[in-house]
Structure 1
Amino acid sequence: MNSNIHFQLSFIEPQAHYVEVTMQINGIVQDFLDLKMPAWTPGSYLIREFAKNIEQVAAHDPDGNPLRIFKTKKNTWRVETTSGNALVTYRVYSFERSVRTNLVDDQHAFISPAGTFLYVDGYLDHESTVEVILPAQWKKISTGLAPVAGKDHVFFAENFDILYDSPLEIGNQDTWTFVAAGIPHEFAMVGTADYNKEQLSQDITKIVEVETALWGSNPNDRYVFITHNYQSAHGGLEHLNSTVLAASRSAYSSPIGYNNFLSLVAHEYFHLWNVKRLRAEHLGPFNYEEEAYTPLLWIFEGFTAYYDNLITRRCGFRNEQEYLNELVVEFNLVLNRPGHKVQSVGLSSFDTWIKQYRPDENSSNVSISYYNKGAMLATMIDISIIAHTKGEKRLDDVLRAAYKQFYLIEDRGITEKEFQDLAEQVTGVSLQDIFSAVYTTEELDYNAYFNLVGYQFIDQNKLSQTPSLGIKVNHHDGRTTIKGVDRNSAAWTDGLSVDDEIIAVNNNRLDPMGRELDQAITFSAIGDTLTILVSRDGVIREIPVTLKASDKVSYYIERNPESTEEQRRLGNIWLSLQEG
């Protein structure tokens, strides 16, 4: 008897945020069936414990007789059957607004497969089908899954890796299609927003075609963009032949918001190649119960973060200065976090499971983002290659060669050494200094790199001496409360603490917006002492704090007036600018 696994999704109480799941298993004959729920979803490196949302699990044989089913682990249900056949039913509570998790309400259902579908232990490579029972009020399904010919609302997944990488949007989303790089693309807009379909199609077509040209070929026969529009949101999650985006519904009506949305599109589409196919050795095939550790997210997320804005520059959506303004944000974000002196970008990648998605009040003091720091290093690699090959090569050539070798030919994950070796082989340029910086907290001489292509990297705060407490505060309900204390700042040294409510400074009570604190700092000098009255857990304390100089930087990137003609030519290549 051939084995098969079939799922059915239905929505009896969508207003209560539930999806009902039926899992039909036939022909998997063994002493028992262990059914498992993934603990995380690829592309989002956090153990999310999806099993917590499952309830009312039951099992029956084909004749409707109940089968014994019980939990053996937090995410494992054992079905006692020797026939290999079982009908398992369960409900999934689905009410978390993110691109990574289920959201079901009376308007639509977004199904994140890793948080919805159980798998049979040992059968991740098994094919499956998914049938959606549409409520009467819903008319559309948008997904990267392949439709089953001759069957309405039934989809096929070759294995569970593909199933878990294929979200479904179900409802009345606004959908349209366009062809880019010779491939049909579907766009599904969820929620109210003021967007221009024709303009989006034209602009995203440019992104698709510029990225396809960079990589050399496009791996898809079809691609789906799912966009959720909220009052305030920005983010995305890549999938094998689709992506889920979160955007602010007002973003499309402002030039800055619209360009930021296009950068988001460019970022997630870039992942078609970088992460989903060209990947680190531990990023697939996946163990959905345990963390997949890698120090290489600085390449796979950081390089993508470098290219997202660069792609919009190449498409003509941003001019030179607008692009440089976006690029320098990556540098200022990292260099203004005290954590850049504590955590290397390699460790940031490895520790993403415990730090990146679980920030707290001390995160800025102990960590950095591999997105930002990876983009910084990608910039240096790209510039170095351009400069030392006189513009004949750049990082594009490395990525294209790596994609061809490690995905199209060998179809396997890579190590950092393999990537570096290939990069140096393709370009003839030593990149050792940059790759060594991955595992140290020492910063490169970024200005020396920018000078190679006719630009300069300048800290406009370098000569200023500004007194600072080194705290972040929150004004709420008439109270000013400390929400962050910078490492080695005045507040850190003299004992102010997160959650302290600041009541007065130098015997002057704070107004609801804390303006007296700002004024006291402004009219003081480095070395002056402020007397700060705080309430700590309801106990009043007076704490003297001696002001230190602010260590915050404010870099900008501009043309170097002392650059040579050759350096300016290389800079034009870097930013895809016209000669002259």
Structure 2
Amino acid sequence: MASPAIHYRVECADRNAHLFAVTLTIERPAAQQRVALPIWIPGSYLVREFAKNLQKLQAVQGRRKLAAQQLDKHSWQIDCASGKPLVLRYQVCAYDNSVRTAWLDRDRGFFNGTSLCLRVEGQTDEPHAIEVLAPPLLAPGERWSCATALKPARVDRQGFGSYLAADYDELADSPVEMGMFWSAEFEACGVPHRFVVAGAPASFDGERLIADTRAICETQMRFWHGDKVGKRGGPKPPHDRYVFMLNAVDDGYGGLEHQHSTALICTRRDLPQLAAKKQPEGYTTLLGLISHEYFHTWNVKRLRPAEFAHYDYGQENYTRLLWLFEGFTSYYDDLLLRRAGRIDDTGYLRLVNKTINQVLQAPGRLVQSVADASFDAWVKYYRQDEQTPNTTISYYTKGALVALCFDLTLRAEGKGSLDEVMRLLWKKSGGGPIDEAAFAAALEAVGGRSFAQEIASWVHSTDELPLADLLRSHGVAALEDPAQRAQELGLRVAEANGSVQVKMVLRGGAAEQAGFSANDEWIGIELGAAKGHKAQAWRLAKLDDLALYLGPLKKITALIARDRRLLRLPLTLPSGVTTWRLAAQDPAKLTRWLDPQ
């Protein structure tokens, strides 16, 4: 096979300065060749302006230095002739320790192609090669390794060397992890998998992580393709390899899906621990993240919105279907944890309960439909501020509840389940792009009737979802408990060092009616004279102090600091504010939903 005509060489130019050096060779450039760096990365719907980190772009053709004219914020035109090899050299500053961009320091390197690899306009469908060089050693005994899901062409035992991509899309969709990371390999339904973990402490239980991850992967492959997946004569999953890349940090959480891999970040305290009688509570959250990103292997990376059939890396790519692709994935990530035996019924209902309360406690659910929230992801979901819960709703959380409603409705009517709808969508589309009409048709095919009314109400309006009735029909009661103090008042606060900082004021709540504002500091309270008590004033260190100081009183004066001004706000404490608590009442019905045979 001939060497690809587009070749990148990536070097760790200066780990202390967080600089990658990239050499791009274009064997057959066009005259006045244009190149561009993406402004966003698929799966994370925000314009991130990766070109802001690119510097020192130089171009040569043979021995001739060429001018590189910048055309806009992310693209350049090279003053070159056609046909003769063109070489571009540049640096990228890598100081974003997230899953979306690039990072380089003395201990670790990581990058996505969208952050480092200029697109060659007119040749993005051609094969691409990328060579990743091992960094110079900075300490005795240091020996880095390299991990990526790209297909190797010529690599050494540590994974450094040349890799191949079918086109720019595959290159952009294949992150690279470097460093002295922990690594293990396993098979799931015959498919080779690798898990690498950077930053793990000595207490890390790798065997536990691999066992749980394998169970999740096998459960999901069987969900999509049946029990014979991976067996001789049985169906094959869409991926022939997969790499999990987990960065364990002091404080962080998130993931980004790719066709043959995922990049993850979690806190070190959430990793499974050796010889622990009980694993950290956050470990379930980590397993849910692993489940979520792996489910994207099917739902979003292959089965995806029609608008994402071909990515435009130079501008926003809009869709109203993120509720289906992110929301439904959020429904199945925890449900498949339950089916994989990683959590029990009580643990699963606790997670559903949390999602329900997150949605019910967001006034924005009555302002914006989940379809509109999908479209507005570019300006709202990734740019949250003090008014976010009042003006928008998460297509993750409400989308998950929409999925739950469709699933429980189908099951209650005895016509199938959402599982069958998802598999039918996969079969009908061939694992490719779909639109809302395809989803509606699959619902009707499985359910035996039109679901147009439900789609209009649950997806395109701000109507409340029929959660209580549907849960009750499947053996789960929705009980109401008194809300915690912050929710009772309609506040979201941060408590630290004896101070109560107001972060958000929820629409329609008692705090808004009293005149509270985001960024206020709630200093204290004043109480009028009451039977047996004289007028009092108290310093407030945390919201729970209110129960100590108020007794039966419902009307108080809140002492607030705002922009260094001291204010007195008349606050009436409400009554009857509740939060949901789910309880299993009919185990047989619950089992038919959570663990169908």
Fold shared, TM-score > 0.5 on shorter chain: yes
Alpha-carbon offset, residue 508 of structure 1: 2.2
Pick from 204, 213, 226: which aligns with 2:222? 213
Given the alignment of the two structures, is residue 248 of structure 1 paired with residue 267 of structure 2, yes or no? yes
Q: 1:222 aligns with which of 235, 241, 251?
A: 241
Q: Does residue 449 of the first structure (1) align with residue 470 of the second (2)?
A: yes
Where structure 1 has 5 or more consecutive residues not aligned to the other structure, the ranges are 562-567
TM-aligned CA deviation for residue 61 of structure 1: 1.4
Distance in 2, matches of 1:485 and 1:44, equals 27
- The one-letter code sitting in structure 1 at the alignment partner of 2:111 is I
Which residues of structure 2 form unaligned runs of 5+? 138-142, 226-235, 274-278, 527-535
TM score, norm. by length of structure 1: 0.91
Q: Report the TM-score, using the length of structure 2 for normalisation.
A: 0.88
User: How far, CA to CA, are the matches of 1:336 and 1:77 in structure 2?
Assistant: 47
Identify which of 423, 437, 451 aligns with 1:400. 423
Change (3 A) 1:150 1:360: closer
1:118-137 alignment to 2 at 5 Å? 118-137=118-137
For residues 310-349 of structure 1, the aligned pairs below 5 Å read: 310-349=335-374
Provide the secondary structure at the position in 2 that maps to 1:163.
Answer: helix
Please tell me whether residue 532 in structure 1 is matched to residue 533 in structure 2: no
Q: Given that residues 295 and 347 in structure 1 are in contact (C-alpha distance below 8 angstroms), is that contact kept between their aligned partners in structure 2?
A: yes
Tell me which residue corresponds to 2:569: 543
C-alpha change, 1:514 and 1:425, in structure 2 (3 Å) is: closer
Letter in 1 for 2:62: P
Matches within 5 A, 1:26-105: 26-30=27-31, 32-63=32-63, 65-84=64-83, 85-105=85-105
The AA in structure 2 aligned to 1:540 is L
Are positions 1:142 and 2:175 aligned together? no
User: Within the alignment, does 1:267 sit opposite 2:292 as a pair?
Assistant: yes
Kindly report the root-mean-square deviation, in angstroms, between the aligned alpha carbons of the 2 structures: 2.4
Letter in 2 for 1:92: V
Q: Separation in 1 of the partners of 2:222 and 2:448?
A: 23
Q: Report the CA distance between 1:538 and its aligned residue.
A: 2.1
Q: 1:119, 1:465 → 2: CA distance?
A: 52
1:402 alignment partner AA:
L
Is contact 2:525-2:540 (8 Å) kept?
Answer: no
Counterpart-to-counterpart distance in 2, 1:466 and 1:267: 30
Match of 2:170 among 162, 168, 173: 162
d(CA) in 2 for partners of 1:556, 1:468: 16
Output the amino acid matched with 1:451: R
* Equivalent position of 1:25 in the other structure: 26
Write out per-residue CA displacement over residues 333-356 of structure 1, whole angstroms, 9 at most, x where no aligned residue. Answer: 000111111111111111111111
- Alignment deviations for residues 372-399 of structure 1 (CA, whole Å, 9 cap, x no partner): 1111111111112222226xx2211111
Task: Give SS of 2:410's match.
Answer: helix
Q: What does residue 115 of structure 1 align with?
A: 115
Distance 1:287 1:176 in 2: 35
- Is contact 1:2-1:27 (8 Å) kept? no
Counterpart position of 2:252: 233
SS at match of 1:347: helix
Q: Hey, what's the Cα distance between the residues in 2 that align with 1:407 and 1:79?
A: 40
Q: Distance in 1 between matches of 2:500 and 2:285?
A: 32
- Aligned partner of 1:564 in structure 2 is none
Correspondence for 1:556: 581
Aligned length: 560
Identity among equivalent pairs (%): 34
Q: 1:286 to 1:466 in 2, by over 3 A?
A: closer
Contact in 2 for aligned 1:237/1:244 (Cα 8 Å): yes
The SS at the match of 1:306 is: helix
Distance, in Å, in 2 between the alignment partners of 1:212 and 1:116 is 33
CA contact 2:94–2:102 (8 Å) conserved in 1: yes
Q: Check whether the contact 2:482–2:576 (CA below 8 A) recurs between aligned residues.
A: no
- 1:292 corresponds to: 317
Question: Who is 1:502 aligned against?
Answer: 522
Distance 1:307 1:66, change over 3 A: same
> Which position in structure 1 is the counterpart of 2:506?
486
Q: Deviations over 1:275-333 (max 9, x none)?
A: 00101111231001111111111111111111111111111111111111111111110
Q: Which amino acid aligns with 1:187?
A: F
Q: 1:307, 1:354 → 2: CA distance? A: 26
- For the 8 Å contact 1:109–1:169, the answer to whether it is kept is yes
- Counterpart code for 1:97: N
Q: Tell me the distance in 1 between the aligned counterparts of 2:546 and 2:444.
A: 53
Match of 1:565 in 2: none
Quote how far apart the aligned CAs of 1:478 are: 5.0
Q: Secondary structure at the match of 1:450?
A: helix
User: Could you tell me how far apart the structure 2 residues matched to 1:2 and 1:207 are?
Assistant: 38
Instruction: Kindly state the Cα deviation for residue 467 of structure 1 after the two structures are TM-superposed.
Output: 10
Structure 1 CA distance for aligned equivalents of residues 179 and 523 of structure 2: 51
SS in structure 2 opposite 1:260? Answer: helix
Deviation at residue 268 of structure 1 after TM alignment: 0.7
